[in-house]
Chain A
C-alpha cells in the first residue's frame, strides 16, 4: 500500500493552517517585536535590542512583582489542588452513598465560566454584607476586606481558584485510584495492613504517574492564569494581584505593545520548557503501552 496516497499530508492542512496562522504565528512575531520599540504612540518601529528585557527585569519596576506573583500563584494552587484533590478522591472512592452526586458537585465549579465564578465570589467576599463576613461575624470575628485589602486580595484570588479547580484534579485522581488493581489491597488485608499503611505503601506509589500529570496540568494553568484574576480583582488593589497575563493586557491597554509582547515572550520561553517536559511525559506513556 502507498502510505502517502491513502494518508495524504493535505489532510492536515486545515489544522496546520489555522493553528499556524492564529496561534503559532503571533507567538513568533511576538518574539520579534520584543526587540523593538513598537507602541501605539510611534508610527515607525525601531530595533532596540534587549532594552525591553532590561526594562522588564529592572528591580524598581512592577514587572518583577508580576513574575513573582505568577510563580507564587502557581506554587500555591498546584500544591493545594493536588492535596485537596487527592484527599477528596480518596474519600470518594470509599463506600459512600450517592457517590456520583458528590463527584458531580465537586466537579461542577470547573465547568462554570471564570467570569461568573468571579461575580459569585465578589458577592460572597463583599466586606460589608457578603456571606463570608456575615458568617465570620456570627463567630465574633471581623472579616477582612477580602478583595480590596492588599494583604488579603491575592490569597482570596488563589482561594477562589482552588475552589473552582480542585474538582477537576479530583476527577483525574479518582481515575488513577480506580485503575489500581484490587489484588494489592487484598494482599495487604491478608498481611493485616491498616488504612494508613495501605495508603502509604500501595495507593501513593501507584498513583505517582497521576500526580506528575496533575502537577504538570496545574503548573501550565497557574502560569497562564488570567480569567480568574481579571474577574475578581483585575490585578488590583495596586499591583497586589497582578500576574504575567493580566500585566500583558495592562500594557496592551496602555499602548506599550513592545513591553507587553516582551512579557508574553518571556512566558513563551517558560512554557516551551514545560511543554517539552509534557511531551516527554506523554511519549513515555505511549512507549509503555
Chain B
C-alpha cells in the first residue's frame, strides 16, 4: 500500500513536470532566439546561441520605438486604472447600499456589458463625433468604459458583504457623504480594489486592436501595438522579433507575478462564489 502510494506520487509529479515543460517550450524558444544572430534565428530551433547577442535588445529598443511605446502603455494603463477604479467603486457603493429600482436597473445595465460585444463600426462614429479619435484622452476613456462592467461587478459583490452599521456609525459621527465614502468605505474596499487595479492594468496593457483603429498617430502607439509595425519591417529577423517579444511581455509577466494573489482572488470572487 505504501509502495503504491509512492509510485502514485512519482507519477503525478512526473506528469506535472512534463506538462509544465511543454508549456514552457514556446517561452524558451523566444528567449533563446532573442540572443541569436539573424542567421541562427532563421532556423527557429531550440539550439543555444553560439555567442549571446545582447545587442539585439538595444537594436529593438531603438528601432521598435520601445521607449515611447512603454510610456504610452504606462500612461494609458495608469489612467484607465485610476478612472475605472474610482468610478466603478462609487457606482458599486451606491448600487449596493441604496437599493432603489432604478439603481438595480443601472447595475444590471452596466454588468450586462461583461458579455456584450462592442460594435466597433458605430463606436468609431461616436468617437469621431466626440472628437476622441486619435487622442490619448479618447483611448483612456474608452479603456475605462470597457473595463467598467467587470470592475463594477467585482466591487459590488464585495461591498454587499460589508455591514451597513459601519456607514451608520460614520454618519452619526458627522461624516458628510463624500467623507463617508472616501475615509470609511474606500479603505475597507482595499483588497478588491487591488484586484480590480491589477486586472484592469493587465487587460489594458495587452490591448492592441483599439489603439490600432483609434490612434492614427504612431507616436501614440503602445509597445504592445508597436510590435505589429515592427513585425511588418523585421518579420525575417526572428532574433529581433524574439527580443521584442521578450521586452513587450516582461511588464505583464512581472505584474502578474507580483499581483498573482489578487488575480486569483478576483477570479474566485467573480466565478466560484458569485
Contact = CB atoms under 8 A, between A and B. Distances in A.
B272 to A, nearest CB: 5
A4 B102 CA distance: 12
Contact of B111 (A6, A176, A279): A279
A26 B119 contact: yes
A33 B124 CA distance: 13
5 contacts: A14-B86, A19-B148, A94-B12, A114-B208, A123-B29
A288 B93 CA distance: 21
Contacts of B27: 108
Given A114-B206, A175-B268, A14 B119 contact: no
Contacts of B127: 22
A264 B119 contact: yes
Interface of A: 1, 3-9, 11-12, 14-16, 18-19, 21-27, 29-30, 33, 88, 91-92, 94-97, 101-102, 104-109, 111-116, 119-121, 123-124, 126, 129-131, 134, 163, 167-168, 171-172, 175-176, 179, 209-210, 213-214, 217, 220, 223-224, 226-227, 230, 245, 248-249, 251-252, 257, 260-261, 264-265, 267-268, 271-272, 274-275, 278-279, 281-282, 284-286, 289
Contacts of A106: 19-20, 23
B274 A12 contact: no
Given A91-B15, A172-B267, A1 B122 contact: no
Nearest to A220: B115
Given A15-B90, A91-B16, A176-B272, A275 B126 contact: no
B43 interface: yes
Given A21-B126, A92-B16, A220-B115, 10 more contacts: A3-B98, A4-B98, A12-B94, A19-B113, A22-B126, A23-B145, A101-B20, A102-B17, A113-B208, A214-B271
B117 interface: yes
Contacts of B148: 15, 18-19, 23
A23 B146 CA distance: 7
A268 B117 contact: yes
Interface stretch (B48-56, B59-67, B189-197, B252-260): B252-260
A102 B126 contact: no
Contact of A15 (B91, B123, B130): B91
Contacts of B245: 116, 119-120
B29 A120 contact: yes
Contacts of B227: 115-116, 119
Contacts of B217: none
A107 B148 CA distance: 24
Contact of A23 (B91, B116, B231, B264): B116
Nearest to A23: B145
Nearest to B175: A6
Interface in B232-270: 238, 241, 245, 248-249, 252-253, 256-257, 260, 264, 267-268
B9 interface: yes
B249 A116 contact: yes
B119 to A, nearest CB: 4
A42 B198 CA distance: 45
Nearest to B225: A115
B88 A15 contact: yes
Contact of A95 (B12, B42, B149, B253): B12
A131 B30 CA distance: 11
Nearest to A214: B271
Nearest to B23: A105
B77 interface: no
A21 B93 CA distance: 21
B110 A6 contact: no
By Cβ-Cβ distance, the 4 closest A-B pairs, closest first, are A285-B274, A7-B98, A30-B119, A275-B115
Contacts of B188: none
Contacts of A9: 94, 98, 100, 102-103
A24 B118 CA distance: 8
